[in-house]
Amino acid sequence: MPRRPGQWLVLLRAALVVAAVVVVGVTDFPSSYVPWAWAAVGFFAVVTVLSAALSATELGRAARVRARALLIALDAVVAVGFISVLSYQTGEPYRALYLIPIAEAALRFGLVGGLVSGAVMTGSTIAIDAIGPGLQWRTAFARVLVGVLSGLVIGRLRDTINAERSRVEARAAEAERLRDELGHRVDVLETANRCARALGSSLELDEAFGAFIRELRALVPFERTAIVLLEDGTATTMATAGRGAGEVFPPGNSDPVEGSVLERVLGGKIVVRRDLSRREFPSDDRLLALGLQSELVAPLQLGARTIGMIGLSRERIDAFSEDEVELVALLGRLVATAVQNIRAYEAERRRVEELARLSQLRADFVSLVSHELRSPMAAVIGAARTLQDRWRMLSAAQRESFLALIGDETSRLAALVGDVLDTSRIEAGTFSYRLEEVELGRVVDEAVEAAALAQQEVPVVVSVRGGLPTIRGDRARLRQVLGNLIENAVKYSPEGGEVRVSAVTANGAIRIAVRDAGPGIPRDQQIRIFEKFGRVDVPGASKPGTGLGLFIARSIAEAHGGSLDVSSGVEPGATFTLTLPVGG
C-alpha cells in the first residue's frame, strides 16, 4: 500500500489516464478535435510516468518542493488541455476539471498555492471561452469566484492542519524530552539513594564510609573525597579517602571556617572549582601538591541548615560534567541525614562510655573510701582499746605513742570526710569562700614548712623570684590547694628525691609550680586526674587516695579566676602549675 501522498497521486493519475482513454474513445469529437484529444491523453500519460519516477526517487527537501510544483503545473496543463478539447460541448460538463489543480496546489502549498493556482486556472478557462465558444461574463465570474474560494478555503484548511500538526509534533517532542529528563532524574535519584543507603548501612563510621566510597567511586570517579562537618565554628574532617587521605587534612583535623571553601557552601549552594591553580583558599596548595586540579563541593543540608560539605577532587582541570554536579548536589542532601545519624550515634556512644566510666569511678571511689575509712578507724579503735585495757601497764612513752597514733588517724579521717564534703559542696554550688587580701608568698612558705615538718624522707625546696604581690582570695582555700599539690608531690617522689616549689610573677599572673621526682603521668591520663575519683593508673605508681584532691584544687583555682595544669614529658617527674591573676 502507498505510504506517501505522492504515491497516492500516482495511482490517481493512472486511474484518470484510463478514464481519459475511455472518454476520448467513446466521445464523438469533431474531426479537427480528435488529434488534440489523444495528444492530451498521451501528455497526461507522460505526466503520470514522470510523477511515478519522481515518487520513487529519494529527493531532498528543496528538490521535492520543486518536483511538486512541476507536477502541479503539468496537471494544470493536462486540465487545460482536456477543457480545451471538450469545449465544443454545450453545458460545460468538463469545465470543473480546472478545480483539480487548484485543490492540488492548495493541499501542497497552502493558502498561497491555492490562490495562485486559482488565479491561473480561472484565467485559463476564461481564455479558452474567449477563443472557443464565446465568453459569458456571468458564468466566468461564477467560475472565478468558485476557483478562488476553493483555493482559499482548501489552502487555509491545509495551513491550519499543518500548524496543528506542528504543534502536536512539538508537544510530542517536548513530552518525549520531559520523559527522558524524568527518567534521567529518576536514575540520578536512585543512584544517590544507593550511596546514601550505603552510608547509612552501619552506624560505625569506618564501615559506613567504606561502603559509601565503594558506591560513590563507581558512580562519580574521583582521586580524593572528604566529608567535612561544621562543629563549634570549625571545619572538622569526618572522613577522607583517596590521595593523601591520612596525611592531608586527615580525619579529626580542624581548621577555621572563615576563609575556607566550607564558608562558601554554608549558603546551601554547590561550588564547582574548575582550576585549583587559582588558589582561592588556603587548602589549595596542599591539594595541588597531591596533583589535584579541580574540585566539586556540595553542602550537606538538613532542611535549610547546612551541617557540612562533601568534596570530590580530580587531577584534570574542569573535570566535572553537569550530570555529575547534579548528582553530587542531590547526594549532599541525602547523605546529610546519614551523617547526622552517625554523629548522633557517636555522641551517644561516647556519652554511654563516659557514664560507664563515671560509674566505674564511683564504684572505685566507694571501694577506696571504704578502705581509707576502715584502716584509720581500725587503728583508732585498736589504740583506744589498748589504752583502755592496759593503761596502768603501759609506760608514759607508750601512752604518748598510742595517743599520737589516734591523733594522726583521726586527722586522716577528718581530711577524707572533708574532701568528700567539699566535693559535694562544689557540685551543689555551695562551696563558700572568704575573700581577703592574701600574701601569697607567706602561703607558699607555710605549705612548704608544713610538708617538711610532716616527713623527712623527701626534701622540699622552694624558689621564689622576687616578692610575690598580694592578691585577693580565700587564704585557707589557697593554702589547701598548695598543701594538696606538695603532699601529692612528696607522696609520689621516691625516698631521697626532691620536690621543688617555684613561684614567679609574669604577664599579670602568679605562677606557682610544684615538681616532683616521681614516675610521671602518661599523657592520656593527664586530663583524667583532675576529674572526680580520677587516679593515675600506672603499674608500680599507684598510691592510696580518693582521687578528689586535684578535682577540689582545680575547682578552687578556677573560682579564683586562675587555672591548674599538669605537664609530664619523657623525663621522670610531673609539674603542676597553679596560675592566679594578680588583679583577681
Q: What is the mean pLDDT of residues 130-145?
A: 73
pLDDT score at 119: 85
Maximum pairwise Cα distance, the chain: 182
By mean pLDDT, which of 285-299, 506-520, 528-542 is the weakest? 528-542
Q: What tens digit of pLDDT does each residue of 167-187 get?
A: 999 999 999 988 888 886 777
3-state secondary structure 3-65: CCHHHHHHHHHHHHHHHHHHHHHHCCCCCCCHHHHHHHHHHHHHHHHHHHHHHHCCCCHHHHH
By mean pLDDT, which of 42-46, 380-384, 524-528, 573-577 is the weakest? 524-528
Q: What is the mean pLDDT of residues 488-493?
A: 84
Q: What is the mean pLDDT of residues 512-537?
A: 77
- Is it the case that residue 367 has pLDDT exceeding 80? no
Q: Which residues lie below 8 Å from residue 569, measured CB to CB, with a gap of 6+?
A: 520
Residue carrying the nine cell digits 572549582: 273
Q: What is the mean pLDDT of residues 563-582?
A: 84
Q: What tens digit of pLDDT does each residue of 315-362 get?
A: 999 988 888 888 788 777 777 777 777 778 778 888 888 788 777 766
- Is it the case that residue 384 has pLDDT exceeding 80? yes
Q: Structural domains in the chain? A: 5-171 (no CATH), 205-348 (3.30.450.40), 436-581 (3.30.565.10)
Rounded distance, CA 483 to CA 452, Å?
11
Rounded distance, CA 44 to CA 17, Å?
7
Rounded distance, CA 268 to CA 298, Å?
8
pLDDT score at 313: 92
- Is it the case that residue 542 has pLDDT exceeding 60? no
Q: How far, in Å, are 69, 334, 455, 577 from residue 506 at the CA level?
A: 106, 54, 32, 13
pLDDT score at 171: 92
Rounded distance, CA 275 to CA 260, Å?
16
> If pLDDT is split at 50, 70 and 90, which confidence band does 37 have?
confident
Q: What tens digit of pLDDT does each residue of 54-108 get?
A: 877 877 878 888 888 888 888 888 888 877 777 766 555 667 777 888 888 888 8
Q: Which residues lie below 8 Å from residue 447, measured CB to CB, with a gap of 6+?
A: 479, 482, 483, 486, 501
| 52-81: b (≥16 Cβ within 10 Å) or e | bebbeeeeeeeeeeebbeebbebbbbbbbb
By mean pLDDT, which of 70-74, 154-158, 421-425, 532-536 is the weakest? 532-536
Rounded distance, CA 415 to CA 417, Å?
6
Rounded distance, CA 482 to CA 485, Å?
5
Q: What is the DSSP string of 76-111?
A: HHHHHHHHHHTTTSTT-TTGGGGHHHHHHHHHHHHH
Per DSSP, the three-state class of 496 is coil
pLDDT score at 407: 81
> If pLDDT is split at 50, 70 and 90, which confidence band does 540 have?
low
pLDDT score at 584: 57
Cβ atoms of 556 and 473 closer than 8 Å: no
pLDDT score at 5: 63
pLDDT score at 293: 92
Per DSSP, the three-state class of 224 is strand
Find, among 482, 474, 488, 470, the residue nearest to 445 by Cα. 482
β partners of residue 311:
226, 297
Q: Say whether pTM exceeds 0.85.
A: no
Q: What tens digit of pLDDT does each residue of 219-252 get?
A: 788 899 888 888 878 888 888 888 888 888 888 8
Q: What is the DSSP string of 114-175?
A: HHHHHHHHHHHHHHHHHHTT---HHHHHHHHHHHHHHHHHHHHHHHHHHHHHHHHHHHHHHH
Find, among 316, 298, 318, 317, the residue nearest to 308 by Cα. 298
Percent of the chain with pLDDT over 70: 87
pLDDT score at 98: 78
Cβ atoms of 301 and 336 closer than 8 Å: yes
Q: Which three cell numbers stand for residue 464?
A: 621564689
Round the average pLDDT of the chain to a whole number and report it: 80
Q: Which three cell numbers stand for residue 195?
A: 550511596
Rounded distance, CA 3 to CA 228, Å?
64
Q: What tens digit of pLDDT does each residue of 423-434 get?
A: 667 766 777 788
Q: How far, in Å, are 489, 522, 523 from residue 567 at the CA level?
A: 13, 10, 8
pLDDT score at 73: 85
pLDDT score at 552: 82
Q: What tens digit of pLDDT does each residue of 260-280 get?
A: 888 888 888 888 999 998 888
Cβ atoms of 126 and 108 closer than 8 Å: no
Q: What is the mean pLDDT of residues 142-150?
A: 81
Find, among 441, 502, 435, 512, the residue nearest to 474 by Cα. 435
Q: What tens digit of pLDDT does each residue of 441-470 get?
A: 888 888 888 888 777 788 888 887 667 888
Rounded distance, CA 56 to CA 7, Å?
8
